[in-house]
């Protein structure tokens, strides 16, 4: 495929970069449209959780991709997550692992997260938002930041440059079955969740088992001891068996 023409809009403060870009997508914005802000007032993570940051302390960016099919949409979060960890490794010497489905971890502490939402447009579009704690992090919630981990102060725009480069390198894989298989392999290797004992909250039910892989749609495969469950969503905690009661 042709290279992506990135068009990054920088806005001092926004409610939500994902919401802003989804509106642009509905107006026909092309792939490569992106928005960065220094402060979100209505940032959200998975399950409606708020994303809180000190103004200017985090990378807060969303980008628009337009895969050829819904099969590619399913892997859009993965290419952004992998590109983000590569960018942090090159700029700060910190290569986070991934926790399924969307967290970036340094050790067991969260340094960032990715959240995608489908833009109901024709052609299909997916808005992928990335938040990374660069110079500060919320206290008491198992979080960290790049400066704390590496002693390096990163500028959000500098991280964006390498993020876009990494996304573009993997973008063609979204439209090709063989490419998605390769992406799946890369994603599994980056997932700290694989091989770990996990507790998954599914509504009012908890599922406990060992994460053994992801399937062709990026869904988590968990061996419960009574068979393998395939999970498209869920709140995952890495646990030790001693923690499970």
Q: Phi and psi at residue 227, in whole multiples of 5°?
A: 130, 170
Coil, strand, or helix at residue 80? helix
pLDDT of 43: 60
pLDDT of 53: 62
Peptide bond into 231 cis (omega under 30): no
DSSP notation for 86-97: HHHHHHHS---E
**Greatest CA separation for the chain:** 53
pLDDT of 141: 83
pLDDT, tens digit (0-9, with 9 covering 90-100), for 133-178: 999 998 878 999 999 999 999 999 999 999 999 999 999 999 999 9
SS (H, E, C) 145-160: CHHHHHCCCCCHHHHH
DSSP notation for 185-207: HHHHHHBTTTTSEEEEEETTEEE
pLDDT of 241: 45
* Regions of the chain with pLDDT less than 50: 47, 241-245
pLDDT, tens digit (0-9, with 9 covering 90-100), for 179-196: 999 999 999 999 999 999
Do the domains spanning 7-190 and 197-243 agree at the CATH topology level? Answer: no
pTM: 0.91
pLDDT of 35: 98
Q: What CATH architecture applies to the domain 7-190?
A: 2-Layer Sandwich (3.30)
**Domain range annotation of the chain:** 7-190, 197-243
Can you tell me the distance from the alpha carbon of 65 to that of 115, in angstroms, rounded to the nearest whole number? 13
Q: Give, in words, the CATH class of 197-243.
A: mainly beta
Confirm if 149 and 52 have CB atoms less than 8 A apart.
no
The DSSP 8-state label assigned to residue 218 in this structure reads S
For residue 212, give both structure tokens: 């053994």
Strand partners, 116: 128
Q: What is the distance, to the nearest Å, from the Cα of residue 26 to the centroid of all Cα atoms in its chain?
A: 22
- Reference 71, options 179, 150, 202, 174; nearest CA is 174
């Amino acid at each position: 495929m042709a290279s992506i023409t990135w068009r990054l809009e920088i806005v001092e403060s926004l409610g939500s970069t994902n919401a802003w870009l989804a509106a642009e997508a509905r107006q026909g914005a092309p792939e490569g449209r992106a928005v960065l802000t220094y402060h979100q007032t209505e940032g959200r993570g998975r399950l409606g959780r708020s994303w809180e940051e000190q103004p200017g302390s985090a990378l807060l960016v969303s980008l628009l991709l337009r895969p050829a099919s819904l099969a590619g949409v399913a892997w859009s979060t993965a290419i952004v997550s992998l590109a983000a960890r590569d960018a942090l490794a090159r700029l700060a010497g910190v290569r986070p692992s991934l926790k399924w489905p969307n967290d970036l971890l340094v050790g067991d502490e969260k340094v960032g997260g990715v959240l995608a939402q489908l833009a109901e447009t024709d052609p299909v579009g997916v808005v992928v938002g990335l938040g990374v704690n660069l110079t500060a992090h919320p206290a008491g919630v198992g979080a960290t930041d790049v400066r704390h981990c590496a002693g390096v102060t990163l500028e959000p725009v500098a991280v964006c440059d390498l993020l876009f480069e990494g996304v573009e390198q993997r973008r063609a894989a979204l439209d090709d079955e063989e490419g998605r298989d390769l992406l799946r392999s890369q994603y599994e290797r980056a997932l700290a969740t694989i091989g770990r004992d996990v507790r998954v909250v599914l509504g009012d039910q908890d599922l406990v088992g060992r994460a053994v892989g992801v399937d062709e749609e990026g869904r988590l495969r968990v061996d419960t001891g009574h068979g393998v469950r395939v999970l498209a969503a869920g709140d995952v905690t890495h646990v030790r068996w001693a923690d499970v009661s």
